[in-house]
Amino acid sequence: MMKQAAVIVAGALLVVACGRSYTPSSPSQIPSDGSSSSGSDAVSTPAPIATSLVARAARRVGFGFNGIVSGFPTGKVFLSGGGAYEPNSHFVHAGGGFTCIKAVLQGPLSVSINPDHQGACLDDEGIRWDTADLLDRTTFKCTGSASDETAVTGDTTVVLQADFYRTGDGNDESFTAKMIVSSHDISSNFPGMNLWVQGVGCGVAQAVNFSN
């Protein structure tokens, strides 16, 4: 009889315990919508967002090149370098070497925006370039007398707003100008040209490579 009573009491306690609602020990365990959730579920990224992030990361494009541009009345510029960009988000991180082989006396590279280092980019001046922005597109000319054409950023062409530095500039650029680098021809008027600097002209990018 005593054994039967003990079993009945134990069963009753179990039923009462199971009927109680769980109270978290910390407010952080309670989801904002009031529903119960495990810790891992609370911090997991929803599937559509995770898929979107993966897709965006997959579109990041790397590129590299070197070449010389000219075509306008004055100036010849050497550029090298590369980096990575992502067309949808406008992420860009790129830069490299820069030298004015011959003085540029027209366009953006002829007017310094650095108050401590005025004047045009002269013979043998220049040390490096980096990017201020990734542009969706730009119009351009390979020579001063050519008609306007258009280049569009994509998987094999990048249009940049670039900053150009001379020795002694530190982090304060002397010039800012647009650039185009492509794995293919950018001009219907000048076959073979796949590199451009605003106000200087076009050229042939050597060792050019785009990958994603």
Q: Which is more confident, 9 or 136?
A: 136
Q: What is the mean pLDDT of the chain?
A: 82
Tell me what pLDDT residue 58 has: 52
In the predicted model, what is the mean pLDDT of residues 96-125? 98
Query: Which DSSP symbol is given to 87?
Result: T
With pLDDT > 90 as the criterion, what percentage of the chain qualifies?
A: 72
Distance CA 31, CA 58 (A): 32
Question: Which residue's entry shows tokens 């050019």?
Answer: 208
Quick check: 211 and 62 in contact, CB under 8 A? yes
Cα–Cα separations (whole angstroms), residue 54 to 49, 57, 172: 9, 5, 36
**For residue range 28-81, what is the model confidence (pLDDT) as tens digits?**
333 444 444 444 444 454 554 444 444 445 589 999 999 999 999 999 999 999
Question: What does pTM read for this prediction?
Answer: 0.73
Quick check: 92 and 84 in contact, CB under 8 A? yes
